[in-house]
Amino acid sequence: MGKTVVCPGSFDPLTIGHLDIITRSSKLFDKVIVVVMRNFNKDVGSFTTEERVEFIKRCTKDLPNVSVDTYAGLLADYVREKGASAVVKGLRAISDYDDEFRQALTNQRLNPEMETIFMVSNAEHMFLSSSVVKEVCRLGGDITQFVPEEICGDIIKRLSRK
């Protein structure tokens, strides 16, 4: 049986940084499940869950070992249900690590078989977040260098003031 990992996130919207982590994971593991999850510490978001799933599918269509799913419960339960061995999380900065480390320890208590793998973002993506993309777009800035080409128009159409 091959190694399955889960790449969780809210992906509101997907950025080139997210896509980089997904692509790199797809080269290391047999199967990667990108799961769109609700972050209860944030608002409901700019895009529906269905739109986010569609965006990710469009951007990963050339990665045959990547699938996309949604889940509204505990990540530890999802990983168990899918028979995955680990979760892959991208880290941009030390501030990300603090929060992700606490989540990893909690998940390990909830599912002792689950590992968390931290993948460091490429240097050119370290500043990038979905929040940055949304703010730049809402203020009329150019987001073409921040999001995958396949979904850029959709994001601009939804968020731009133009």
Task: Please write the tens of the pLDDT for every residue from 31-55.
Answer: 999 999 986 666 678 999 999 999 9
Q: pLDDT (tens digit, 9 = 90+) per residue, 77-100?
A: 999 999 999 999 999 877 778 889
- Taking Cα atoms as reference points, which of 107, 128, 125 lies closest to residue 116? 107
- Split at pLDDT 50, 70, 90, the class of 1 is very low
Which residue of the set 92, 129, 158, 160 is catalytic? 92
Residue 94: both structure tokens together: 């030390």
- Split at pLDDT 50, 70, 90, the class of 20 is very high
Average of pLDDT values for 13-35?
Answer: 97
CA distance 121 to 92: 5
Cut 0.85: pTM above it: yes
Report the percent of the chain where pLDDT is more than 70: 94
Average of pLDDT values for 51-75?
Answer: 97
Which residue of the set 10, 18, 52, 89 is catalytic? 18
Domain ranges of the chain: 4-125
Mean pLDDT of the chain: 92
Q: Is 95 a catalytic residue?
A: no
Q: Are 85 and 51 in contact (CB under 8 A)?
A: no
Assess whether pLDDT exceeds 50 at residue 71: yes
Q: Is 92 a catalytic residue?
A: yes
Q: Name the CATH architecture for the domain at 4-125.
A: 3-Layer(aba) Sandwich (3.40)
- Split at pLDDT 50, 70, 90, the class of 112 is very high
Tell which wins on pLDDT, 123 or 12. 12
Assess whether pLDDT exceeds 60 at residue 68: yes
Assess whether pLDDT exceeds 80 at residue 2: no
